[in-house]
Amino acid sequence: MTLKREEIVQTLEKILSPEQVVTELSVLKESSIDRFRRFEGYHGVYLQPFPAAVVYVNNSQEVSEVLKFANENGINIVPRTGQSATEGGLETAAENSIVLDGSRMNKIVKIDPYNMQATVQCGVPLQKLDDLLREQGFTTGHSPQSKPLAQLGGLVATRSIGQLSTLYGGIEDMVVGLEAVFPNGQISKIKNVPRRAAGPDIRHIVIGNEGALCFITEVTVKIFKFFPENNVYLGYTLENMKTGFEILREVMVNGYRPSVARLYDPEDAAYHFSHFSEGKCVLIFIAEGAKPLADATAGAIREIVDESGACTPVEPKLIQRWFENLNWDPSDIAEEKKEIIETKNICNTTEISSNWDRIHDIYEVCMERIRNEIPDLTMLGAHSSHSYLNGTNIYFVYFYNVVNCGAEEEITKYHLPIKKIVVEETIKAGGSMCHHHGVGKHRTHWIKDEYGSSYYMLKTLKDAFDPNGIMNKGTIFPIED
Amino acid sequence: MKFAIVLNGCSQTYRSQAEEIYGFLKTSFLTEGEGETFVVCENEKQRDEIIRYAPTALLHLIKMDRYQPEAILHFIEHYEGMKEFRYILFPSDFAGQELSVRLGSRLKGSSMVAVEEIDVLEDGVLCSKLVYGNHLRGYFKLDFPPFCISLQKGGKEPCPIPVIKNRQIFNYEQRSDQDSFIQTYLFKRSEKDEGLESAAFVIIGGYGLGSREAALNLQKKASELDAGFGVTRPVAMNGWMNMGKMVGVSGELVKPKLCLVLGASGSAAFMAGIKKSEFIVAVNQDAKAPIMNQCDVAVIDDYVPVMDALTALINTWQSDFETKRTSE
Amino acid sequence: MKVLTCFKVVPDLTLLTDEDWQVVNNQVDVGFVKNDWNPFDESALEMTLKLSELSESLSGSMELTAVSVGNKKIDSFLKTLLALKFQHAVRIEAEQDLRFNPHQIAAWLAGYVKKSHQDVVVMGVQSGVGDNAQTPLLLAEKLGWPSITQVIGIKPEKNGCLRVTSQMDDGVLEQVIKPPVVLSVGNAPNSFLRVPTLKDKLNYGKKSVEVIIPTDIIVDNTTEAEIHAPKLIKLSAIENQRDSVKIQDGTPSDKATILFNRYLKQRLKKL
């Protein structure tokens, strides 16, 4: 028997306290979407079912009790912390959902510089943790664009990656241990050790689960020594992407680890670097760490780039200033909202990855198809921002004018058709359809193609940990009626 | 050194224009006795106020149909004694800006807008003003008198104008065809804007309020102090105050002269919403909260007793100030 | 009706860090941050496009020209305006430092206005770096045209007139006026320029930017413009950081008293 809205709210108020259960309509509206539907939100159009309540929890025990209640009554739970999601992961797809907000769990539990790890509750903002660490000469090494907004729980849940990933890795390389709560109320803690060969690495059941398996309450991440004074910034312009990918590969396969290795195509470069790109591609590296390492890395990269004979260096300060302003500045977000409402021009992105041998093909075919098939585009560009030994990613960036349709059609008329092209072409070429934003609710359609025969393993996790299907319905796993 | 002042008596802001100029005069090398004020006015009703608050004893009253820069410029440009003035001062407002530059051009003098301070040079005048988007102060030499200067908004403290005896008043009536390009003219006086975004004094409560009751209490207090009231995103998201009161990037962006922030930690998203405030005071128990290093004054304490004491102080002072001002 | 919209491309000064504010030879190097439309000019450009659209049905189309002063680095901005269907995109070629010389800019613009027989000039009231707030006013004087400042709306009217809404110090003024006129745009409610599609960029962006050498358009004597321009004597840093004075000793009431007497009393007086 499904519970009515009021009954859900009443029970939640009993389990927690009335003060922790918010039912204010404007809050519910705002909590029914994330940045994926911001165009609708900016125009006051809210089409997702409003949640029954937004619930603020203070500790793991409370999380456990709320999950047990939801699990017993088949109520959908949408976990969240910093609310910077971009792929619909926070949309409340089912009627009478409970939005489970961990942002009040914001204690820094322990900073342990001897063992080089920091333990924090899920609601600790990354910016706060990293600022605190930097005061003491350390860093998390994690720097996604959402850093000023995102909190640790959400970052781990979405398999976040930062701009410095080529040196420090993605969040999966940083998480040492964690605590998560499952739908049946089970609170599980994975201990913090350097490595173990004691069966499969169960951290990976939790990292990237996007709230579809469990609620993350605490994480322990590695910390690194921070030497910003040693940073070496390198920037170049070059004629084409193919050469750029070759240079990136050369740097990676020779074992060099710059923190940043990025390649912009001419359109994307014109957007970020109009003051110097002059219609060309832009290639960027930052070498950091202890001085001998940073210098050696920078020196080797310079050599590789010089050998290619294809690049013209630019003033390092140009790169430094750009890098310092890369993260979402909250005032830019406010400005963006105003601009979108006035101009009806909006930017969205899709990020994929592939091995070196197909990456340029994917780039070419996607650009060509989007340009030809999608109306009202005002900008279409791409960049590679995270490279690995065996391949790299591409971040497609597109702006379009939303014309001759309602705000609610923006997604179906523009954004999803573009995503479809990128995802399908990538999967066809053997790449991955999601590099770092997560699946959210709008790429679930292709999840089986993404996984192939290994979908069995993924689905088994869902069936085992969330047999009643209460965790973030429609995220990672498509809603199948 | 003779100087002139040009004020717009057609505007309701006349008195504050005069007090602004008077405040500037007090801190400059110019002496009141050597100044003459030119005021444009529309009708007889304003006459008394204009005379009472004119910043110099000598006053030229120019009656016109309405504020119209072409006609005003035409009059002043052709006023016979204009050549005698080495300085012509204008207030910081829109009218002051447009008149100063255009008059400077017509009189073959030099002009500058938004001037903070002036200093005498042997062969000109040195003016300082903010440049590079308020990041730097520039010092400029103006060579050709008359030096037509409009002031920087909020640059110097306005100064009440004392009662001036022995006023000398010259009246003019100006009808001109300078504004014949205008076919229709419709002026709507703006109502006092009550919105948070335009409030001069704003009080904002953060998550440290802790409850809906505390938020409502603070809102009441703010209205008693004639301040706009806002809250941070967590307060709104917890349902303690409606979303319309939210300050920050997803809510209102405020730019008051005085912004009092209570119990807010100062997330980047919130700070962006108040960063254009002229003066920020933060009250918070947590000395390490980010806002404590991004404000002008940080009071480290529980906001409740601090606010109670502060309200009492403001109320006492306010009644004193009002009595003093009306008796002047 | 021929409408000329003047704009300036300015560096995004918010991207500069404290250490960048080094004054060398009375200048600050702003060359390594992104450029963008001067916000007031951006409003002016969008306002011009809206005016032209409205005019289409009322009294036929307008001939739109966009003009800026500078070197070829600003051509991409002019190309964008061509893609937005400005018929002409004009650049007055200049390499010299004009940050504090609105007189020179106004002289060139006046020359171009006369040469190309414009009816209306639209531009922002002020632009960054120099913050002179003088160019449109000086231009009006050089042309001998009337001027309306702080414009927030322009609409077409019959018989070649315009309905111009502008902010006054104590209200809003709406006038129907007969050009010629110089309109300088203030804090308009719509401040963003629309974005051209890739298709329009392809179709209209092929047109080339007209480059004009100043000596071709100067009608009055340039030296006058230079002499009357104020001379920059020096630049000095101002403290932008807030002081963050801490009040932490004594009872809450002591703290409130210190706060009030030292910091609030004077400020409240100004309100």
Q: Give percent of chain A with pLDDT exceeding 70.
A: 99
pLDDT tens-digit map of B293-327: 899 999 999 999 999 999 999 988 888 766 766 65
Mutate to test the interface with A, among B250, B270, B291 (most CBs of A within 10 A): B250
Residue of B181, B316, B328 for testing the chain C interface, max C β-carbons within 10 Å: B181
What would the pLDDT profile of B185-239 be if each residue is shown by its tens digit? 999 987 655 678 889 999 999 988 888 889 999 999 999 898 999 999 888 888 8
Range of weakest confidence among A327-331, A390-394, B297-301, C190-194: A327-331
User: Are residues B13 and B159 located together in one domain of the fold?
Assistant: yes
pLDDT beyond 60 at C221: no
Q: Both B154 and B221 in a single domain?
A: no
Out of B141, B173, B205, pick the residue that ends a domain: B173
* Mean pLDDT score across all residues of chain A: 96
Q: Which of C33, C73, C195 sits opposite A401 (nearest CB)?
A: C195
Q: Does C196 touch chain A (CB under 8 A)?
A: yes
ipTM of the complex: 0.90
Question: Distance (Å) from the C-alpha of residue C74 to the closest C-alpha of chain A?
Answer: 9
Residue C240's pLDDT is 58
Average pLDDT over residues C173-201: 94
pLDDT in tens, C145-155: 999 999 999 99
Q: What is the pLDDT of residue C224?
A: 61
Q: How far is A341 from chain C (nearest CA, A)?
A: 10
Q: Does C18 touch chain A (CB under 8 A)?
A: no
B186 near C CB under 8 A: yes
* Mean of the per-residue pLDDT values of chain B: 90
Average pLDDT estimate for A337-349 = 94
pLDDT for B327 equals: 58
Task: Encode pLDDT of C164-184 as tens digits.
Answer: 999 998 899 999 999 999 999
C222 has a pLDDT exceeding 60: no
- Contact: B253, A54; criterion CB under 8 Å: no
* Same structural domain, B108 and B58: yes
Domain that holds residue B152: 3-173
DSSP B13: T
Q: How confident is the model at residue C97 (pLDDT cuts 50, 70, 90)?
A: confident
Based on the number of CB atoms within 10 Å of its own CB, is B264 exposed (0-12), middle (13-18) or buried (19 or more)?
buried
- pLDDT score for C223: 59
Q: Where in chain C is the domain with CATH 3.40.50.620?
A: 2-228
Rounded-to-5 percentages of helix, strand, coil across chain C: 35, 25, 35
Alpha-carbon gap, residue C166 to C190, rounded angstroms: 14
Q: Which residues of B touch C130 (CB under 8 A)?
A: 131
Question: What's the structural domain count of chain B?
Answer: 2
Dihedral class, residue A208 (left if φ above 0, else alpha if ψ from -120 to 50, else beta): left
Please tell me the CATH code under which domain C2-228 is placed: 3.40.50.620
- Whether residues C13 and B132 touch (CB distance < 8 A) is answered with yes
Residues of C in contact with B143 (CB under 8 A): 227-228, 230-231
Query: 10 Å Cβ neighbour count for B98?
Result: 27
Average pLDDT over all residues of chain C: 91
Q: Do C267 and B258 touch (CB under 8 A)?
A: yes
Residues B98 and B235 in one domain: no
The residue among B173, B206, B236 that closes a domain is B173
What does the alpha-carbon distance between residue A367 and residue A45 come to, in Å, rounded to a whole number? Answer: 31
Q: What is the pLDDT of residue B276?
A: 86
pLDDT digits (tens, 9 = 90+) for A291-317: 999 999 999 999 999 999 999 999 999
Look at residue B127 and tell me whether its pLDDT is greater than 60.
yes
Sign of the C-alpha dihedral computed for residues B44, B31, B97 and C114 taken in this order = positive
- Strand-pairing partners, residue C155, are C163
Whether A16 contacts A57, CB under 8 Å: yes
Q: Let me know whether B264 and B319 are in one domain.
A: yes
Chain B residue numbers touching C13 (CB-CB < 8 A): 132-133, 135
Tens digits of per-residue pLDDT, B235-271? 888 888 888 899 987 778 898 999 999 999 888 778 8
Percent of chain C residues topping a pLDDT of 90? 71
Q: How confident is the model at residue C220 (pLDDT cuts 50, 70, 90)?
A: low
Residue B144 is classified by DSSP as S
Q: Can you give the CATH number for the domain in which B218 is found?
A: 3.40.50.1220
Residue-wise pLDDT for A352-379, tens only, equals 999 999 999 999 999 999 999 999 999 9
B264 and B130, same structural domain? Answer: no
Which residue in A452, A359, A372 sits closest to A418, CA to CA? A372
Which domains, ranges and CATH numbers included, belong to chain A? 5-103 (3.30.43.10), 108-225 (3.30.465.10), 228-324 (3.30.70.3450), 330-462 (3.30.300.330)
Q: A252-256, A473-477, B246-250, C80-84 — which is least confidently predicted?
A: B246-250
Flag whether B117 is in a domain.
Answer: yes
Q: What is the CA radius of gyration of chain C?
A: 22
With bands split at pLDDT 50, 70 and 90, how would you rate the model's confidence at B31? confident
One domain for residues B83 and B201: no
Chain C residues with CB under 8 Å of B183 CB are 161, 175-178
Q: Check if the beta carbon of residue A63 is closer than 8 Å to that of residue A215.
A: yes
Cβ of A378 within 8 Å of Cβ of C20? The answer is no
Residue B188 located in a structural domain: no
Q: Are residues B86 and B205 in the same domain?
A: no
Look up residue B313 and give its DSSP letter: H
Q: What is the dihedral of CA C186, C191, C194, C195, to 10 degrees?
A: 110
